Amino acid sequence: MQKQLQINTERLDDVIRDDDRLKIMPEVEKAHRKLKDQKEGNGGSLGWMNPEKIISNGTLDDIEKTAKRLMSISDVVIIVGIGGSYLGAKAVIDAVAPKEGKGKVVFAGYNIAGDYISELFNFLEGKDISINVVSKSGTTTEPAIAFRVIEDILKKKYGADNIADRIICTTDKKSGALRTIAEEKGYKSFVIPADIGGRFSVLTPVGLFPAACAGVDIKELIAGALNQKERSDKSSLEENPSYIYAALRNILYTKGKKIEILSNFDHRLHYMSEWWKQLFGESEGKAFHSIFPASCDFSTDLHSMGQLIQEGERNLFETFLIVEKEEKHIVIPGSDNNLDNLDYLVGKEMSYVNRKAYEATSEAHYEGGVPNSTIFMPERSAFYLGELFYFFELAVSVSAYISGVNPFDQPGVEAYKLKMFKFLGRPG
């Protein structure tokens, strides 16, 4: 039997009592029913709950074919996007892309620092390049500026009449500036489903096309998501792992735990945490009450944030994201004089030391008053990453409904945009 994503909550038991769990179950059931009713009524934001659609409509094969063609003419593909149009793809590529594939995909449009673009241009000098621009509207300031600048570079490098086969647009099916550009200029395009919001879009062409360009097995990503979906559909409310996670974090919030730290012990999961922060921050951060999502990369951050977590204000809880099986097996060698006092580790693998570091951290933080749980991934692979994406997407939907907010809108995001337009002097 294939291993699955697991969540261990033993180190929450001293804080969360049985009656806490019983008390929140009606809210879990209410949230579950709301999702189910929306889904059955073809709810406008729940397309992510049906990852199988991308297989049935042939999009997955088209993505793989197009990515292969684009990479055959490119040394580097630039992915232009921000927020949900960027973080999911970056998370996948950093976590599971083969080394040679990671170097062939770079990102732009997620900030507007001129120095970054200048450095990117220096890197691209002398290379054959292509673009995948990702935007539902095509008018989001940061990626729209980057696309305009990089498209101009392509025109100068190859000639305006010779760039159509180097530009892929991922955008709305019918409307928006980028859809118009794609149709007028003959750029190949993929559709961002209308019923999937940006932060839920990693398992659509938004995340899958960049991943395919980097050599990721995107069919395994979808297979993992489907496996987690089936598991969730078959589970009772009390046994559904996403619902357990959603319920426990809301209980902790009522007990004064206002900050959640997602901590990993694998540097390649850094952008998985960044994706998670957007997913939960943008889905739940409303009505002036919510859990603040933060993250740490251990053991690096144990030598910086570790002090605060261990002895700072007791207003936080921690969720560890742990990969059980590491790919590489590096054995610790002996030394001539043992001046570092590490001979007791000779012959042991670094993965063993890393695991013990996690176990020690979990226990130390728990004893220091930081309740924590652990999500275990059997291994860092596309399949289990697909499981993790679906796990978190379902969890945040239920968690937000429990806390009384709509997980699928983001009205507050517009505030800075309107101010920026005003300061820039945008007409209208």
3-state secondary structure 305-358: CHHHHHHCCCCEEEEEEEEEECCCCCECCCCCCCCCCCHHHCCCEHHHHHHHHH
Whole-number Å distance between alpha carbons of 394 and 48:
9
Q: Kind and range of the H or E element at 284?
A: helix 270-284
Say how many Å lie between the first and final Cα of the chain, rounded: 60
Q: Decide if 365 is catalytic.
A: no
Exposed, middle or buried by CB within 10 Å (0-12, 13-18, 19+), for 88? Answer: buried
Q: Choosing from 142, 151, 260, 282, which is the catalytic residue?
A: 282
DSSP 136: S
Radius of gyration of the chain (CA): 23
Q: Choosing from 30, 156, 185, 417, which is the catalytic residue?
A: 417
Q: Choosing from 303, 328, 329, 422, which is the catalytic residue?
A: 303
* Token pair listed for 224: 């993992």
Reduced to 3 states (helix: H, G, I; strand: E, B; else coil), residue 370 is: coil
Q: Decide if 303 is catalytic.
A: yes
Whole-number Å distance between alpha carbons of 267 and 272:
10
Whole-number Å distance between alpha carbons of 232 and 236:
8
* Token pair listed for 27: 């809210």
As a dihedral over the C-alpha atoms of residue 128, residue 134, residue 138, residue 140, rounded to 10 degrees, the angle is -110
Classify residue 126 as left (phi > 0), alpha (psi -120 to 50) or beta.
Answer: left
Q: Decide if 282 is catalytic.
A: yes
Which residues are identified as catalytic? 282, 303, 417
